[in-house]
Amino acid sequence: MKVSGLTGGYSPRRPVLHDITFEVKAGEMIGLIGLNGAGKSTTIKHILGLMKPQTGDVRIDGVTLEEETERYRSAFAYVPETPVLFDELTVEEHLRLTGMAYSVKDNHYEEREEELLEQFQMMPKRKAFASHLSKGMKQKVMIMNALLADPSLYIIDEPFLGLDPLGIRSLLERLVEVKQKGAAILMSSHILSTVEAYCDRFIVMHHGSIVAMGTLEDVRRAAGMETRGGSLEDAFYKLVTGGNA
């Protein structure tokens, strides 16, 4: 995915995003971090095609949404912060629906379904309706749907909210697996210790702009810190507070 010169928001007169440019390459996990209101969710909405850029563009698999809508949308899977499921469908039926939407072959579907249900401890709930699930279980269903689709790009927004420790570990293990197989991952999260441990590069947003981007050393350097000392959290606080945390 490549975001180039993206400026946008809810009003042309007061854009939320200001000339955002970054790239997520195959086989890497990028951590998108920032305070509430920094522009992370607005950036994701533009990537999803829910908002139209005022200037700039977003390309996934080399095309924009306008150029090849089906190719663009089928190239990514999205896990939102708040689970969105159909109350009258079971866990299995959600997975089946996703399999059909992404044209997952039957022999691959059955193998993936069993593997995901087992890994996320959802076997006992496979026949349960979504309306009967806890928020954490609903989030697991969203995550399983994304992993089942096996896209080239994952867009994940605050995935750990509501997950139990085993669910968090299962998700991180699977993200490492799909990354090693060549998938690109853009993950937004406030849990900076986890972002630091698992992501290859970082994008720090503040007031709708990118204030630092790159490896941990790059972010430290942007924060005016010694490149060999300090955590991502330390550098983040310096960047968004001007050193006056």
Residue 120: phi and psi, rounded to 5, are: -100, 20
Q: How far apart are CA 61 and CA 47, in angstroms?
A: 12
- Beginning with the edge strand found earlier in the chain, give each strand of the sheet holding 2-8 in spatial order: 17-23, 2-8, 55-59
C-alpha 23: how far from chain center: 14
What pLDDT is recorded for position 227? 60
For the record, the structure tokens of 110 come out as 């059955």
| Confidence at 146, pLDDT banded by 50, 70, 90 | very high
Residues 6+ apart with CB under 8 A from 24: 1, 2, 30, 153, 184, 185, 186
Answer yes or no: is pLDDT of 244 > 70. no
CB 32 within 8 A of CB 205: yes
Q: How far apart are CA 76 and CA 210, in angstroms?
A: 23
Answer yes or no: is pLDDT of 196 > 50. yes
CB 5 within 8 A of CB 21: yes
CB 6 within 8 A of CB 58: yes
Answer yes or no: is pLDDT of 116 > 80. yes
Which residue in this structure is represented by tokens 């997950």?
Answer: 163
Q: What is the pLDDT of residues 201-231, one digit of tens each?
A: 999 999 999 999 999 999 999 999 976 688 9
pTM of the model: 0.93
